[in-house]
A and B are shown apart, each in its own frame.
Chain A
Amino acid sequence: MIGKALSRRHLLGLGVGAGAAAALAACGSSGPGGGGSSVTDGVADYWSLSGPPGEPARKAAIERFNAANPDTKISSLFFKNDAFKQKIKTSIGAGDAPTMIWGWGGGNLKSYVQAGQVEDLTDWFAQNPAVKDKLFPTSFAPATIDGKIWAMPHETVQPILLYWNKKVFEQVGAEPPQSWDDIMALVPKFNAAGIAPFALGGQSRWTNMMWLELLLDRGAGPDVFNRVYAGEANAWSDPAVLDMLGKIQRLIDENGFINGYSSVTADSNADQALLYTGRAAMMVHGSWSYGIQNSQGGDFVKNGGLGYMSFPPIEGGKGDPSNQVGNPGHYLSISTKASPEAKEVAKKFFATTLLDDKEPGEWIKTNNVPIIKGSDSQFGTDPNGQFLKFVYDTSVNAKVFAQSWDQALSPTAAETLLDNIAKLFQKQVSPQQWVDNMNAVIGK
Chain B
Amino acid sequence: MTTLAPPAARVTETSATGGGRGGALIWMTVPALVMFTAFAIVPLIGVLVLSFTSWNSIGPIEPTGLDNWASVLTDPGLPHALGVTFMIMGLSWVIQTPMSILLGVFLAAHKRYRGFLAVLFFVPVLLSSTAIAITFKSLLDPNFGVGSSFGIELLRQDWLGSPRLAVGVLIFIVSWQYIPFHSLIYQGAVRAIPPSMYEASLIDGAGRIRQFISITLPQLRYTIITSSTLMVVGSLTLFDLIYVLTVGGPGDATRTLALDMYQTGFSASLMGPASAIAVILVLVGLVLSQILRRLGGRGDESQQEGA
Contacts and interface: CB of A to CB of B under 8 A. Distances in A.
Q: Do A and B interact with each other, yes or no?
A: yes
A6 B246 contact: no
Interface residues of B, number: 51
Interface string B11-43: 001100000000001000101110110111000
Given A11-B32, A260-B143, A426 B247 contact: no
Contact of A422 (B10, B32, B250): B250
B158 interface: yes
A262 B161 contact: yes
B149 to A, nearest CB: 12
B299 A2 contact: yes
A263 B161 contact: yes
Nearest to A112: B58
B142 A412 contact: no
Given A12-B32, A412-B270, A3 B141 contact: no
B3 A7 contact: yes
A377 interface: no
Contacts of B35: 15, 18-19, 21-22
B6 A426 contact: no
A279 interface: yes
A196 to B, nearest CB: 8
Interface in B46-104: 56-60
Interface of A: prevailing SS: helix
A348 to B, nearest CB: 27
Contact of A416 (B25, B253, B266, B268): B268
Given A263-B142, A273-B144, A411 B267 contact: yes
Contacts of A254: none
A415 interface: yes
Interface stretch (A70-78, A86-94, A385-393): A86-94
Contacts of A30: none
Interface in A241-268: 258-264
Interface in B161-208: 161, 163, 166
Nearest to A261: B161
B119 interface: no
Nearest to B31: A15
A358 interface: no
B143 A86 contact: no
B32 A14 contact: yes
A178 interface: no
Nearest to A274: B143
Interface in B109-163: 137, 140-144, 158-161, 163
Given A18-B39, A258-B143, A260-B142, A11 B29 contact: yes
A111 B39 contact: no
A175 B242 CA distance: 41
Given A3-B300, A270-B141, A25 B39 contact: yes
A426 B56 CA distance: 29
A259 B144 CA distance: 11
Contacts of A89: 57-58, 269
Contact of B36 (A18, A86, A205): A18
Contact of A411 (B14, B56, B141, B249): B56
Interface in B243-274: 246-247, 249-253, 263-264, 266-270
Interface centre among A263, A270, A416, by most chain B C-beta atoms within 10 angstroms, is: A263
B143 A423 contact: no
B1 interface: yes
B36 A14 contact: yes
A16 B137 CA distance: 33
A426 B4 CA distance: 47
B39 A22 contact: yes
B158 A263 contact: yes
Nearest to B255: A419
A375 interface: no
A14 B1 contact: yes
Given A21-B39, A89-B57, A270-B144, A7 B299 contact: no
Interface string A60-87: 0000000000000000000000000010
B268 A11 contact: no
Interface centre among A6, A15, A21, A273 (most CB of B within 10 A): A15
A10 B39 contact: no
Nearest to A413: B268
Interface in A206-255: none
B40 A18 contact: yes
A395 interface: no
A92 B39 contact: no
B7 A422 contact: no
B59 A111 contact: yes
A258 B7 CA distance: 61
B159 A428 contact: no
A419 B39 contact: no
Contact of A415 (B31, B58, B166, B267): B267
A429 to B, nearest CB: 8
A203 interface: yes
Contacts of B58: 89, 92-93, 111-112, 115, 117
Closest 8 CB pairs of A and B: A15-B32, A260-B142, A18-B35, A263-B160, A415-B268, A426-B251, A263-B161, A115-B59
Given A22-B39, A411-B267, 7 more contacts: A10-B7, A14-B36, A17-B36, A21-B39, A203-B250, A264-B141, A411-B268
Interface of B: 1, 3-4, 6-7, 10, 13-14, 25, 29, 31-33, 35-36, 38-40, 56-60, 137, 140-144, 158-161, 163, 166, 246-247, 249-253, 263-264, 266-270, 299-300
11 contacts: A6-B3, A10-B7, A18-B38, A89-B57, A93-B58, A111-B59, A262-B250, A263-B160, A270-B141, A410-B269, A414-B268
